Amino acid sequence: MMFNKENEVLWQQTLHRISADPVGRGLRRKQFSTPLVRIRHLRNRIAHHEPILHWPLQQHHADMMQLMEWIAPGDARWCRTHDRFPSLVARWSHQLPRSTA
Protein backbone atom coordinates (compact mmCIF):
# COMPACT_ATOMS: atom_id res chain seq x y z
CA MET A 1 0.00 0.00 0.00
CA MET A 2 1.31 3.42 -0.93
CA PHE A 3 -0.18 5.40 1.93
CA ASN A 4 0.39 3.34 5.04
CA LYS A 5 1.62 4.75 8.35
CA GLU A 6 5.21 5.02 7.12
CA ASN A 7 4.09 7.24 4.23
CA GLU A 8 1.66 9.35 6.26
CA VAL A 9 4.18 12.19 6.46
CA LEU A 10 4.50 12.23 2.66
CA TRP A 11 0.77 12.88 2.30
CA GLN A 12 0.50 15.30 5.24
CA GLN A 13 3.48 17.45 4.29
CA THR A 14 3.48 17.36 0.51
CA LEU A 15 0.90 15.48 -1.48
CA HIS A 16 -2.16 16.95 0.25
CA ARG A 17 -1.35 20.23 -1.56
CA ILE A 18 -2.49 18.60 -4.79
CA SER A 19 -6.10 18.65 -3.59
CA ALA A 20 -5.82 22.39 -2.93
CA ASP A 21 -4.81 23.10 -6.53
CA PRO A 22 -7.68 23.82 -8.96
CA VAL A 23 -6.63 20.84 -11.12
CA GLY A 24 -6.88 18.46 -8.16
CA ARG A 25 -9.68 20.16 -6.25
CA GLY A 26 -11.55 17.63 -4.16
CA LEU A 27 -9.03 14.89 -4.87
CA ARG A 28 -9.03 12.26 -2.19
CA ARG A 29 -6.04 10.29 -1.09
CA LYS A 30 -7.40 7.00 -2.43
CA GLN A 31 -8.02 8.57 -5.85
CA PHE A 32 -4.35 9.48 -5.93
CA SER A 33 -2.96 6.24 -4.51
CA THR A 34 -4.95 3.79 -6.68
CA PRO A 35 -3.33 4.73 -10.02
CA LEU A 36 0.02 5.16 -8.29
CA VAL A 37 -0.12 1.56 -7.04
CA ARG A 38 -0.97 0.33 -10.56
CA ILE A 39 1.95 2.29 -12.02
CA ARG A 40 4.32 0.91 -9.36
CA HIS A 41 3.18 -2.61 -10.20
CA LEU A 42 3.87 -1.97 -13.90
CA ARG A 43 7.30 -0.54 -13.07
CA ASN A 44 8.13 -3.63 -11.02
CA ARG A 45 7.16 -5.94 -13.89
CA ILE A 46 9.35 -3.95 -16.26
CA ALA A 47 12.24 -3.97 -13.77
CA HIS A 48 12.01 -7.77 -13.59
CA HIS A 49 12.01 -8.03 -17.40
CA GLU A 50 8.53 -9.54 -17.47
CA PRO A 51 6.33 -9.20 -20.55
CA ILE A 52 3.83 -6.34 -20.35
CA LEU A 53 2.44 -6.11 -23.88
CA HIS A 54 -0.72 -7.93 -22.80
CA TRP A 55 -1.32 -5.38 -20.04
CA PRO A 56 -3.75 -2.45 -20.42
CA LEU A 57 -0.93 -0.07 -21.32
CA GLN A 58 -3.29 2.67 -22.46
CA GLN A 59 -4.88 2.74 -19.00
CA HIS A 60 -1.47 2.87 -17.35
CA HIS A 61 -0.50 5.72 -19.66
CA ALA A 62 -3.71 7.56 -18.78
CA ASP A 63 -2.98 7.02 -15.07
CA MET A 64 0.51 8.46 -15.48
CA MET A 65 -0.76 11.49 -17.34
CA GLN A 66 -3.48 12.10 -14.73
CA LEU A 67 -0.98 11.91 -11.88
CA MET A 68 1.31 14.26 -13.74
CA GLU A 69 -1.58 16.69 -14.22
CA TRP A 70 -2.28 16.66 -10.48
CA ILE A 71 1.35 16.99 -9.42
CA ALA A 72 2.75 19.37 -12.05
CA PRO A 73 0.21 20.72 -14.58
CA GLY A 74 2.84 22.65 -16.55
CA ASP A 75 5.02 19.58 -16.87
CA ALA A 76 1.97 17.55 -17.88
CA ARG A 77 1.34 19.95 -20.76
CA TRP A 78 4.94 19.52 -21.90
CA CYS A 79 4.60 15.73 -21.66
CA ARG A 80 1.41 15.74 -23.74
CA THR A 81 3.13 17.86 -26.38
CA HIS A 82 6.06 15.42 -26.68
CA ASP A 83 4.24 12.19 -25.88
CA ARG A 84 4.71 9.53 -28.57
CA PHE A 85 2.77 6.76 -26.82
CA PRO A 86 -0.66 7.49 -28.37
CA SER A 87 0.73 7.54 -31.91
CA LEU A 88 2.76 4.38 -31.34
CA VAL A 89 -0.23 2.54 -29.92
CA ALA A 90 -2.36 3.65 -32.86
CA ARG A 91 0.30 2.46 -35.26
CA TRP A 92 1.03 -0.91 -33.60
CA SER A 93 -2.16 -1.80 -31.72
CA HIS A 94 -3.22 -4.34 -34.34
CA GLN A 95 -0.05 -6.35 -33.54
CA LEU A 96 -0.28 -6.18 -29.75
CA PRO A 97 -1.96 -8.93 -27.74
CA ARG A 98 -5.27 -8.06 -26.13
CA SER A 99 -5.09 -6.74 -22.57
CA THR A 100 -5.72 -9.31 -19.88
CA ALA A 101 -4.38 -7.60 -16.75
- Mean pLDDT, all residues of the chain: 79
What residues contact residue 87 under an 8 Å CB cut-off, 6+ apart? none
Do 59 and 53 contact (CB within 8 A), yes or no?
no
Give residue-wise pLDDT tens across range 15-58. 666 666 555 556 677 777 888 889 999 999 999 999 998 889 99
